[in-house]
Amino acid sequence: MSHILVAVLFFREPFLKVSSLDIKALDARALSLSLVNVMSSSYDDDDDDDERPTVNSRVETLDGNRGFCRYVGPVVGQTGTWVGVEWDDQKRGKHDGKHNGKRYFECKRGKEAGEEEEEDTRASFVRVQKVATATDFVSAAKEKYDLENQEQLEKRLVFGKEDKNGSYNNNSDEEVNVTIELKTKLSLQKSLIELERILLPNARLARVNRRAGTPADADEARASSSSALNDEEELFAKTFNPNATHVDVSGNLMTSFAELGKIGKYFRNLEILDASDAFYDEDVRDFDIDGTSTLMKEVALAALQFRNLKTLALNKTRTSWEKALLIIEQMPNLEELRLDRNELQNIKLVDEQASRRYFPKVKVLSLDGNRNVKWNDIWALRFLPSLEILYASECSVEHIAYENDDESSNNNKRFFRNLRGLFLGNNSVCSWQSVDVIDHFPSLECVRLSQNPFCENDSASRHEIVARAGKLLSLNASEITEKERRESEIRYLRNIMAEVSSTNSARLEDDELDAMISSEKVLAKHPRAKVLKKVHGERALAGVQTTKCTQSQQQLESKESCNDGTTNAGGASSSISLALTLTRKGKGSKNRTFPKSVTVARVKTICEKLFGMKLGTSTLAIRDGDAKENFIELEPDEDTLAYLGVESGAEIFVL
């Protein structure tokens, strides 16, 4: 049996992925590696008061639940120290701060919508040991990235015998001494001083700077404060890359936007900041953007630290629209703003002057998940000068409208003039007229409309959306090809023609059909009907029954069908006979009978087998009038020959 020396090294994040190894020379039963999990630290019951959570601070339990600390101390009938928590998940608790008849604390946050009549279970007590220790930005970054004390972790896991060349050979059948080293590749890691992206999501950050001790008197406090500030600046300068461009502190435990602003103070070139999923300035929603309160000044000053920021994410932070405006006013270079799931509502009109003040360069705005946002709130943003992409999925949009602007012409519209993408999935849009409006937006070319009531089935409704919105290039994250647009428009036009023809008992001549399609009644329901008739008229007419047969015609057809022996119970023919003609090399023609319900795709497959063609390479067409070289292609594949107007005795050309 081989002698084995095992060196086990512990580190917080395994950067090494160990592949399968050939260890035939080893006795597997002799190899035993123990994996040690380092559990997250928590507050001990006998910790100093400075280490315990403070009232109104944000806390997170070891199992990942978050809330506000409302009480720290004893609980009657229980031993040890307890923390009273008002949970973010308002259904998680057991009471509202009153336990066994005694009031320990009051819950400060308002109840969520729809919970007024339910029992108040926003809070409960947890032992102090179950509350995770909060940390600061520097400590969290060092814990995740700093490998200064792990210089020895340089090689990979090695099996085998070291040969004369200094390399390891595990193909030998000899018994060998094996050294197992579990190490990381430092070449894959950069030190903090080099990092341009510092990603610390859900790192339990309660503050940016490290917590300082409490000085004895005021003079000492001022001196200590000044000294601590200098020390912190020096620490940041020595620890981090001052030119870092991306910081992610989402899911933090900070309680004020002013604290968040310290990050901008140390990283002046920051371009991307994700500070989502947090409570800043607890539930202060009534911001007057022209007011002069102390809190407003603090928020504005903190935002001022991010002058070069281009992307800001404040999703799920309970940030009001007014507070968001106050923040972004200090960020003149901002290009992307994300305010998802912030319970926004009643967005006031941002006129041209205000748009230039707050949104001079914003190209992307996300309002996803704000369940009270309606179309009027979106329309209030119509003057944003640079807006290109607007997300508003999972809101309460019931319709889309584009109102006329008296001060602009058709060639120079002011409203949403640069908007290219509008994403309204999972809303309450209930009318096809909302789709017709899409073409009124001067630059709109990409939309998401999935999971809205007007389209019962997203896949089945896609062709009609494509046909109704002529300028779209992408729908529901899928590109609209030239072929798809052509097929969708022809199919939609055939439906319009069939709808128009069904109201008349006599045959419609072409000029009569044109007049009806151009009528106000039809255009009110199908605004693109006239344009589509002009573009696809001939091809559409090839696939729609535009006459109501007279009784004698029906009798004649029935008699012919009887002679062929192909009638059904109602006297109408249930099959059609076709001449299939190959136009390629090795031309030929074959007669075949098909049921009227046969699809274009099925006929293609049969033709490819009949003529020995490669599957999926054929195109079917009928002759356009008397011109021998002009053909009308039969499409789309899922349509039946009967729907496309192909009658028995017709000649189908295989191109």
Please indicate, yes or no, whether residues 357 and 460 belong to a single structural domain of this protein.
yes
Residue bearing the bigger pLDDT, 650 or 163: 650
Is residue 250 in a domain? yes
Query: Helix 482-501 and helix 458-468: axis angle, to 10°?
Result: 90
Domain end marker among 444, 461, 480: 480
- What range does the domain containing 413 cover? 344-480
pLDDT of residue 250: 97
- What's the predicted TM-score (pTM) here? 0.73
- Tokens (6 digits) for 589: 């023609």
- Of 97-106, 147-156, 328-337, 644-653, give the lowest mean pLDDT range: 147-156
Amino acid letter, residue 173: D
Domain end marker among 277, 303, 333: 333
pLDDT-derived band at 29, boundaries 50, 70, 90: very low
Residue bearing the bigger pLDDT, 175 or 108: 108
Is residue 448 in a domain? yes
Please indicate, yes or no, whether residues 176 and 269 belong to a single structural domain of this protein.
no
Residue bearing the bigger pLDDT, 408 or 194: 194
Residue 50 per-residue DSSP state: G
pLDDT tens digits for 299-308? 999 999 999 9
pLDDT tens digits for 268-280? 999 999 999 999 9
pLDDT-derived band at 551, boundaries 50, 70, 90: very low
- Tokens (6 digits) for 364: 């992307």
pLDDT of residue 289: 57
Using CA atoms, how far apart are residues 132 and 63, in angstroms rounded to an integer? Answer: 9
Q: How long a stretch of residues is the chain?
A: 655
Is residue 553 in a domain? no
- Tokens (6 digits) for 8: 């086990």
Residue bearing the bigger pLDDT, 36 or 487: 487
What CATH number is given to the structural domain containing 76? 2.30.30.190
pLDDT of residue 169: 53
Please indicate, yes or no, whether residues 461 and 489 belong to a single structural domain of this protein.
no
Please indicate, yes or no, whether residues 209 and 276 belong to a single structural domain of this protein.
yes
pLDDT of residue 583: 82
Residues 319-347 as b or e (16 or more Cβ within 10 Å = b): bbbbbbbbbbbbbeebbbbbbbbbbbeeb
Is residue 139 in a domain? no
pLDDT tens digits for 211-262? 654 444 555 555 555 565 677 788 888 889 999 999 999 999 999 999 999 9
Q: For residue 150, is pLDDT > 60?
A: no
Strand-pair partners of 423: 391, 448
Please indicate, yes or no, whether residues 507 and 457 belong to a single structural domain of this protein.
no
Exposed / middle / buried, residue 264 (Cβ in 10 Å: 0-12, 13-18, 19+)? buried
Domain end marker among 480, 498, 526: 480
Q: For residue 561, is pLDDT > 70?
A: no
Please indicate, yes or no, whether residues 461 and 409 belong to a single structural domain of this protein.
yes
Please indicate, yes or no, whether residues 615 and 645 belong to a single structural domain of this protein.
yes
Please indicate, yes or no, whether residues 403 and 476 belong to a single structural domain of this protein.
yes
Using CA atoms, how far apart are residues 461 and 116, in angstroms rounded to an integer? Answer: 40
Q: What is the mean pLDDT of residues 330-349?
A: 96
Is residue 269 in a domain? yes
Is residue 141 in a domain? no
How many domains, the chain? Answer: 6
Measure CA 45 to chain center: 43
C-alpha Rg value of the chain to the nearest Å: 36
Exposed / middle / buried, residue 171 (Cβ in 10 Å: 0-12, 13-18, 19+)? exposed
Which residues, other chains included, contact 648 with Cβ-Cβ below 8 Å and sequence gap of 6+? Answer: 573, 575, 576, 577, 578
Please indicate, yes or no, whether residues 495 and 600 belong to a single structural domain of this protein.
no
pLDDT-derived band at 343, boundaries 50, 70, 90: very high
Is residue 473 in a domain? yes
| Largest Cα span, the chain | 115
Q: What is the mean pLDDT of the chain?
A: 79
What CATH number is given to the structural domain containing 311? 3.80.10.10
Residue bearing the bigger pLDDT, 211 or 28: 211
Is residue 560 in a domain? no
Please indicate, yes or no, whether residues 263 and 201 belong to a single structural domain of this protein.
yes
Q: For residue 290, is pLDDT > 80?
A: no
What CATH number is given to the structural domain containing 626? 3.10.20.90
pLDDT-derived band at 504, boundaries 50, 70, 90: low
Please indicate, yes or no, whether residues 176 and 265 belong to a single structural domain of this protein.
no
Please indicate, yes or no, whether residues 393 and 461 belong to a single structural domain of this protein.
yes
